[in-house]
Amino acid sequence: HPRMTSRASWAVLHQYRRLLKAARVYPSKNRASMVAEIRSAYREDAILEGDRARAALDQAKEAEAQLARFPADEVFQQDFEYQQR
């Protein structure tokens, strides 16, 4: 992992931790692959700066909001899929 020193880097780390937490309880048969994809996206996004870092952070927030729409204790027919842009 790259050494993270800026406030923006901390924000990215914090957001991806929240996203991972939401994905771990998301009711989906694809949960493990979602978690792996989020981790991979974090590794790529952790080194971004400026507008690209803000865009990645916004995307992670959007994905977390989508996951939060579905309560963890209910089972759904549709599977949410996190896709890095």
pLDDT in tens, 40-82: 998 888 888 888 888 888 999 999 998 888 765 554 445 555 5
Kindly state the tokens that stand for 44: 């790529």
CA distance linking residue 75 with residue 67, whole number of Å: 13
- Name the residue among 28, 55, 51, 27 with its Cα closest to residue 41: 55
Choice between 5 and 18, residue whose per-residue pLDDT is larger: 18
Judge if pTM exceeds 0.75. no
What's residue 18's pLDDT?
A: 93
- Whether 79 contacts 28, CB under 8 Å: yes
On whether the CB atoms of residues 42 and 12 are closer than 8 A, the answer is yes
Neighbours of 64 (CB within 10 A): 19
